[in-house]
Amino acid sequence: MTGRITGTGSWVPEQVLDNEALSNIVDTSNQWIRERTGVERRHIAEQETTAEMAAKAGKRALEQAKVDPAKVELILVATISGNEILPCTACRVQEMLGAVQATCFDLNSACTGFLFALNTAQAYLKSGIYRNALVIGAESLSNLINWKDRGTCILFGDGAGAAFLEAEESGRYAQITHSDGEKGKALTCSSRNQKQYAEHPDAPETYMEMDGREVFKFAVSSVPQVIQELLEKEKIPKEEIRFYILHQANIRIIQSVSKRLGEAEEKFPVNIQEYGNTSGASIPILLDELNRKGCLQPGDKLVLAAFGAGLSYGASLLEWK
């Protein structure tokens, strides 16, 4: 059994913060951000919660798949920015969608979160435990960012993307993932939920912190390496890949991966200019845009690849419906 994607959806907040407006908040410029990252604007969830965005993206995926929410068996939400610790974001989504039969849980693997959630869903479908799954990546990173730190706040944005999977006998899905906890310090965000029992300290405000150069170096070597590993394992020549749908973190990282693989940049669709890095939401938002624009044809082989905090990275191969 393999999970076939029968519907995709996405949702981003209306509120837009462009580079010009951002340069009034922090010492940067539109030109610097565009040239060094490719980001032109990002969407900010001022009113919406992560769960609301996730539910809206999920609803669109179910509508496209023409599936009654009451028939959904599994909801997985990849997120690092749920607005509550309890209940999980996936249970909130369940409630909003009326997906009364679904088993729901969240998965935290930062920017590789959607890939890891997709792999988890595929494993459940392959084993026959569930027959379908709604996999969502949703983030309100604007809540975790230090808006005084120009090294991070220029990069990130908010939004949600979703894919609905249905098990079928035929179809193809393969994945390779890696985690490297020794490099974890390069990208961190301490919990605001600090020790209370013994010391009752005033919990410090904590934000996402990043060694940008280290993460950049990691990405440009690990992503092409894991894609090559996957293609070799699956014995697929790279010429057969229609699109490489990469986590949208930095246009220079995407260009470098294309160069290292010896593959044309046209095979690497991008939307980072519009949304910035939306972590676990970036791959499903891009997938949904390509799908809705009619860019994906039956039989197309797609590679999805991501890297992020952990540090972790991975790539998946799937054949479009």
Residue from 28, 103, 177, 225 touching ligand COA (CB under 6 A): that is 28
CB of 138 to ligand COA, least distance (A): 16
Identified binder of ligand COA from the candidate list 32, 95, 108, 183, rule CB under 6 A? 32
Residues between 130 and 159 with contacts to ligand COA, criterion CB under 6 A: 150-151, 154
Residue choice 65, 97, 111, 318 for contact with ligand COA (CB under 6 A): 111
For ligand COA, which residue of 212, 256, 260, 267 counts as binding (CB under 6 A)? 212
Closer to ligand COA by Cβ: residue 131 or 183? 183
Choice from 37, 50, 89, 140 touching ligand COA (CB under 6 A):
37
Q: 172 or 217, CB closer to ligand COA?
A: 217
* Strand-pair partners of 244: 303
Distances, alpha carbon 271 to alpha carbons 25, 59, 231, 291, 303, in Å: 24, 22, 25, 14, 17
Write down the catalytic residue from 19, 88, 132, 247. 247
Helix (H, G, I), strand (E, B) or coil at 24: coil
Token pair belonging to 125: 């479908």
**In 3D, which of 199, 122, 228 has the Cα closest to residue 165?**
122
Contact criterion met (CB below 8 Å) for 253 and 276: no
Measured on CA atoms in the order 227, 233, 239, 243, is the torsion positive or negative? negative
Per the CB < 8 A criterion, the answer to whether 62 and 134 are in contact is yes
Cβ proximity of 263 and 136 under 8 Å? no
Looking at the chain, the number of H-run helices and the number of E-run strands are 9, 13
Residue 65 has, within 13 A of its CA and on its CB side, a CA count of 28
DSSP for 112-147 reads: GHHHHHHHHHHHHHHHTS-SEEEEEEEEEGGGTS-T
**Is residue 153 flagged as an active site residue?**
no
Q: How far is the CB of 26 from ligand COA (least distance, A)?
A: 7
Please tell me which residue in 111, 119, 189, 250 is annotated as part of the active site. 111
Measured between alpha carbons, how far is 92 from 162 in angstroms, rounded to an integer? 15
Only one of the segments 125-133, 192-200, 209-217, 238-246 lies at the binding site for ligand COA (rule: CB under 6 A); that segment is: 209-217
Instruction: Annotate each residue in 218-247 with x if it binds ligand COA (CB under 6 A) or - if it does not, as one string.
Output: -x----------------------------
Minimum separation from the CB atom of position 139 to ligand COA (A): 11
The least distance separating ligand COA from the CB of residue 215, rounded to whole angstroms, comes to 4
For residues 182 and 190, give the distance between their C-alpha atoms in angstroms, rounded to a whole number: 17
Cβ–Cβ under 8 Å, residues 242 and 185: no
Q: Is 247 one of the catalytic residues?
A: yes
Are 255 and 293 a contacting pair, CB within 8 Å? no
Query: Which of these ranges, 13-21, 98-106, 171-179, 205-213, lies near ligand COA under the rule CB under 6 A?
Result: 205-213
State whether residue 205 is helix, strand or coil: coil
The site that binds ligand COA (CB under 6 A) totals a number of residues, namely 19
> Is 83 marked active-site?
no
Binding region for ligand COA (CB under 6 A) out of 88-96, 132-140, 160-168, 212-220: 212-220
Quick one: 55 or 304, whose CB is closer to ligand COA?
304
Return the number of the residue (36 or 71) whose C-beta is nearest ligand COA. Answer: 36
Q: What string marks each residue from 248 to 287 as x (binds ligand COA by CB under 6 A) or -?
A: -xx--------------------------x----------
Query: What amino acid positions are annotated as catalytic residues?
Result: 111, 247, 277
